[in-house]
């Protein structure tokens, strides 16, 4: 027996109208499908406590960020917020490059120190409101080396996303 499908013109019309849709399959199962009236709008300051709570509820999956610095849109169903998206601008630090000659001949400590000092100066510049007038005070970078990952954590960076990404909000 062939699998029955929803009649696509009926589904599309129901999405536009918010009407009830029944298909041959749904009728066979005596079930009706209601296409919800989802709306999307820009979030307001009053939405922030609820959105922050929802973000904290999923702290093991999503990076915890300052939503006050984001462009946020919320999805609503029957007047209740059912989801949101947040976007922010940030600095991506890449590359942190040491020359092959230096990496080959310099002592290990010198390589670590050069890397640390390069990151520190970028961190200072990004955090200095008199120099950095962009209004963007968050950065992240990809760090592969385990020693440098430990250094990043001791420096005040936090692990963000999955993998080897570290960031800092100044």
For residue 147, the enclosing domain spans 91-169
Annotate 69-100 with b (16+ C-beta within 10 A) or e (fewer).
bbebebeeeeeeeeebebeeeebebeeeeeee
Of 88, 118, 150, the residue at which a domain comes to its end is 88
- What pLDDT shows up at residue 78? 86
Count structural domains, the chain. Answer: 3
* pLDDT, tens only, 50-90: 999 999 998 887 878 889 888 999 999 988 999 999 998 88
Question: Are 14 and 83 within one domain?
Answer: no
Residues 98 and 123 in one domain: yes
pLDDT at 27 over 50: no
Query: In terms of domains, do 105 and 137 share one?
Result: yes
Instruction: Find out whether 56 and 48 touch, Cβ atoms under 8 Å.
Output: no
Output the pTM of the full model: 0.59
Task: Please indicate, yes or no, whether residues 42 and 2 belong to a single structural domain of this protein.
Answer: no
Find how far residue 106's CA is from the centre of its chain.
Answer: 38
């Amino acid at each position: 027996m062939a699998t029955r499908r929803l009649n696509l013109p009926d589904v599309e019309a129901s999405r536009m109208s918010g009407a009830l849709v029944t298909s041959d399959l749904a009728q066979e199962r005596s079930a009706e499908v209601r296409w919800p009236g989802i709306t999307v709008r820009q979030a307001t300051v009053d939405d922030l406590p609820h959105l922050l709570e929802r973000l904290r509820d999923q702290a093991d999956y999503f990076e915890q960020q300052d939503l006050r610095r984001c462009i946020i849109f919320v999805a609503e169903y029957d007047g209740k917020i059912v989801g949101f998206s947040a976007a922010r601008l940030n600095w991506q630090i890449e590359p942190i490059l040491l020359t092959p000659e230096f990496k080959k001949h310099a002592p290990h400590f010198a390589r670590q120190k050069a890397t640390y000092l390069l990151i520190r100066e970028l961190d200072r510049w990004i955090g200095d409101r008199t120099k950095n007038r962009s209004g963007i005070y968050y950065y992240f970078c990809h760090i592969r080396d385990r020693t440098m990952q430990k250094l990043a954590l001791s420096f005040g960076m936090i692990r963000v996303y999955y993998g080897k990404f570290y960031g800092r909000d100044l």
